[in-house]
């Protein structure tokens, strides 16, 4: 009798465990479906933002197709959906609103650039070597002052992802941001792809336009260098914001 009681008790425990496990699995399934629906809503909301994206000035000229392609990439990578959508929302807000301003703070531009890089990571293999580093002197007084032209960093970043061979085992992209001595600097380097790049019209701001913007705005207070060394393309931009601000104040 005692033996039968023990067996019955054990069976009850097993049944209860099964009920708990099944209940947990059903709960997880419901949560997954709910998250998927929320992600889908976020996706369509952002897609509508992209469709409404109309930036006509030189400072805010971008190719909306770039973001549609990114949205499609995000949608096909469910495990990164929330993270990527959050970054994309920040990027779109910056382009739609902040880029219309004549100047933004170095902090705002660097945050935008870092978000843009995170979005571009969707398109590459997890094994691809992507190095992103920053050296920011937060105590510099001009770090939070609006003296930097918006979207000044996007051209160098886009070019790196466009011209790097993302499939080659020795390929890499390196991006380094620095703000010290009230000077904004960024260096972008990548292993050059052997594949020929098909040139497209209206594919972003463009090299020529970037240099034109820099000359018009900063005159002699910037330095833009681009060169190839051992099949590695290197672009370095440096803008002395302190000298630029001094000239602006003297011109008043």
Please write the tens of the pLDDT for every residue from 174-231. Answer: 999 999 999 999 999 998 876 654 444 444 445 668 888 899 999 899 999 999 998 8
Q: Read off the pTM.
A: 0.67
What was the pLDDT predicted at 113? 95
Contact assessment for residue 62 and residue 205, using Cβ atoms and an 8 Å cutoff: yes
Neighbouring residues of 205: CB distance < 8 A, sequence distance ≥ 6: 61, 62, 151, 154, 155, 213
What was the pLDDT predicted at 60? 44
Geometric angle at alpha carbon 213, from 161 and 172, rounded to 5°: 15
Contact assessment for residue 88 and residue 98, using Cβ atoms and an 8 Å cutoff: no
Task: Say whether pLDDT at 112 is over 50.
Answer: yes
Q: What is the C-alpha separation between 176 and 231, in angstroms, rounded?
A: 19
What was the pLDDT predicted at 52? 55
What was the pLDDT predicted at 133? 97
More confident residue, 2 or 14: 14
Q: What is the C-alpha separation between 96 and 113, in angstroms, rounded?
A: 15
What was the pLDDT predicted at 77? 57
Distances (CA, A) of 153 to 58, 110, 113, 116, 122: 14, 8, 7, 10, 19
Q: What is the mean pLDDT of residues 25-40?
A: 74
Contact assessment for residue 247 and residue 239, using Cβ atoms and an 8 Å cutoff: no
Q: What is the C-alpha separation between 150 and 185, in angstroms, rounded?
A: 14
More confident residue, 112 or 24: 112
Q: Which CATH number fits domain 53-251: 3.90.79.10, 3.30.565.10, 3.90.180.10, 3.30.750.24?
A: 3.30.565.10
What was the pLDDT predicted at 55? 38
Q: Domain-by-domain residue ranges, the chain?
A: 1-42, 53-251
* SS3 assignment, position 64: helix
Q: What is the C-alpha separation between 54 and 35, in angstroms, rounded?
A: 31
Contact assessment for residue 82 and residue 127, using Cβ atoms and an 8 Å cutoff: no
What was the pLDDT predicted at 130? 93
Q: How confident is the model at residue 95 (pLDDT cuts 50, 70, 90)?
A: confident
Q: What is the mean pLDDT of residues 240-250?
A: 91
Structure tokens at 251: 């011109």
**Nearest CA-CA partner of 110 in 159, 139, 144, 68:** 144
**Nearest CA-CA partner of 35 in 75, 95, 77, 81:** 81
Geometric angle at alpha carbon 212, from 206 and 218, rounded to 5°: 125
Rounded to a whole number of angstroms, the CA Rg of the chain reads 25
Q: What is the C-alpha separation between 111 and 209, in angstroms, rounded?
A: 22
Q: Report residue 95: phi and psi, to 5°.
A: -70, -40
What was the pLDDT predicted at 99? 75
Structure tokens at 152: 């000044």
Q: What is the C-alpha separation between 21 and 32, in angstroms, rounded?
A: 16
């Amino acid at each position: 009798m005692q033996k039968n009681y023990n067996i019955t008790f054990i069976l009850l425990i097993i049944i209860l465990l099964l009920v708990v496990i099944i209940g947990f699995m059903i709960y997880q399934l419901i949560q997954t479906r709910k998250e998927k629906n929320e992600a889908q809503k976020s996706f369509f909301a952002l897609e509508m933002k992209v469709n409404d994206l109309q930036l006509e000035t030189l400072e805010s000229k971008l190719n909306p197709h770039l973001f549609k392609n990114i949205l499609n990439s995000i949608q096909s990578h469910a495990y990164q959906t929330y993270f990527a959508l959050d970054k994309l929302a920040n990027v779109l807000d910056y382009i739609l609103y902040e880029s219309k301003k004549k100047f933004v703070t170095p902090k705002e531009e660097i945050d935008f650039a870092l978000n843009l890089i995170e979005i571009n990571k969707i398109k590459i293999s997890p094994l691809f070597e992507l190095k992103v580093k920053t050296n920011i002197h937060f105590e510099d007084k001009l770090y939070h002052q609006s003296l930097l032209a918006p979207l000044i960093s996007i051209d160098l970043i886009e070019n790196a992802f466009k011209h790097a061979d993302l499939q080659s085992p020795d390929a890499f992209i390196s991006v380094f941001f620095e703000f010290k001595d009230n000077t904004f600097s960024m260096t972008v380097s990548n292993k050059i792809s052997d594949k020929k790049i098909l040139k497209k019209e209206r594919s972003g701001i463009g090299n020529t336009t970037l240099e034109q913007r820099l000359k018009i705005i900063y005159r002699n207070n910037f330095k833009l260098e681009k060169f190839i060394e051992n099949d590695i393309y290197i672009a370095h931009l440096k803008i002395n914001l302190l000298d630029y601000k001094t000239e602006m104040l003297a011109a008043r």
